[in-house]
């Protein structure tokens, strides 16, 4: 009983550190590894502070790029397990044939090619935290085994009949709506109930635009420190960033800041270097082209590409993003049109 209580009760040292983090947030807008002063993010910070000192399983939901792994790391760093490993597994990035062995490990000779014993993520994360990202991409048959681990607290390596204690805290995440994933057959309903003990939902960046300048300045400060050359944003650059919809969320913002830093030669980054991964709503509103029924598709494609290029003032990156093609594909098309005697527009930044 005392062991259980010690897991649930937050030690005074962690309480003091949590208080320090709250004070840091008041000063700078930073909470652990997270940045933002918006009301929605303050709710996330409150949830993290409440659940981190417990052993409760957490399910983090939110669109891709919102920072689900960063939330999981922050929970781990505020927990009694922080001196033990934090391991992250992207369930959608491991082949179905290998994922069971990677998560639970395998014995020597368990299958063809298993020439030695292999410790899986559960063993390597012993005493720490295991972050299962994109949990809905885990094969259903493996979800059954994960459910068994959560219910019994033990697991077995592939090819073994000996149970091993799973002293691991599970934090799972998905960019799908969990209930929809269940309805679509992507997630077992019983596993959802086991994982969704303490849900944390991360807001998309478009719903907290007041945090964009703070995040952008944070990313810029990091790259300035790393590269050794200080730069700052012009006010119009920050304004432009706040008008973008950010379908790629915080990850896209970080990419945009890094690209702008590289492209700007001077100390002030203007809005001309802000190349978004996807066009904003304002940029999508452009002129129309008229196509006659029966026009060959190649001619339609050429007209659309050249008109879009003209609309974006020969800016190749924005044109490719608006058309949904790679920059390489765009360059190949423009090269073809040039060889056919049709100019593809001047080079741009």
Burial (Cβ within 10 Å: 0-12, 13-18, ≥19) of residue 99: buried
What's the sign of the alpha-carbon dihedral 78, 81, 86, 87?
negative
Reported pTM? 0.74
Give the pLDDT means over successive 10-residue stretches in the chain (349 positions).
41 81 93 95 96 94 95 94 94 86 86 84 95 94 94 90 92 95 95 96 96 97 95 95 92 93 92 72 63 86 90 83 79 86 42
pLDDT at 347: 38
Query: Which residues are bridge partners to 168 per DSSP?
Result: none
Predicted confidence at residue 4, as pLDDT, reads 38
């Amino acid at each position: 009983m005392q062991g259980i209580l010690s897991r649930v009760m937050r030690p005074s040292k962690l309480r003091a550190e949590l208080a320090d983090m709250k004070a840091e947030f008041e000063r700078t807008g930073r909470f652990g590894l997270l940045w933002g002063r918006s009301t929605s993010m303050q709710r996330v910070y409150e949830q993290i502070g409440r659940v981190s000192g417990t052993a409760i399983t957490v399910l983090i939901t939110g669109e891709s790029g919102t920072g689900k792994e960063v939330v999981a790391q922050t929970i781990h760093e505020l927990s009694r397990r922080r001196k033990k490993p934090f391991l992250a597994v992207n369930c959608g990035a491991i082949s179905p044939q290998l994922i069971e062995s990677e998560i639970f490990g395998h014995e020597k000779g368990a299958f063809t090619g298993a020439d030695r014993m292999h410790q899986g993520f559960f063993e390597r994360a012993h005493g720490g935290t295991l972050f299962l990202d994109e949990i809905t991409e885990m094969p259903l048959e493996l979800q059954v085994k994960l459910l068994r681990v959560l219910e019994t607290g033990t697991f077995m390596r592939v090819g073994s009949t000996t149970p091993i204690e799973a002293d691991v805290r599970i934090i799972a995440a998905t960019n799908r709506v969990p209930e929809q994933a269940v309805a679509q057959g992507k997630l077992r309903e019983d596993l959802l109930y086991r994982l969704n003990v303490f849900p944390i939902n991360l807001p998309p960046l478009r719903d907290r635009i007041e945090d964009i300048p703070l995040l952008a300045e944070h990313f810029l400060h990091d790259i300035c420190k790393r590269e050794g050359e200080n730069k700052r944003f012009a006010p119009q650059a920050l304004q432009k960033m706040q008008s973008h919809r950010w379908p790629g969320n915080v990850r896209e913002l970080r990419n945009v800041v890094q690209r702008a830093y590289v492209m700007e030669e001077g100390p002030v980054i203007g809005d001309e270097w802000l190349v978004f991964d996807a066009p904003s709503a304002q940029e999508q509103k452009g002129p129309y082209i008229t196509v006659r029924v029966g026009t060959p598709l190649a001619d339609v494609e050429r007209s659309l590409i050249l008109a879009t290029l003209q609309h974006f003032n020969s800016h190749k990156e924005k044109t490719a993003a608006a058309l949904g093609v790679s920059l390489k594909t765009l360059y190949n098309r423009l090269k073809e049109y040039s060889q056919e005697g049709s100019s593809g527009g001047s080079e741009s930044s």
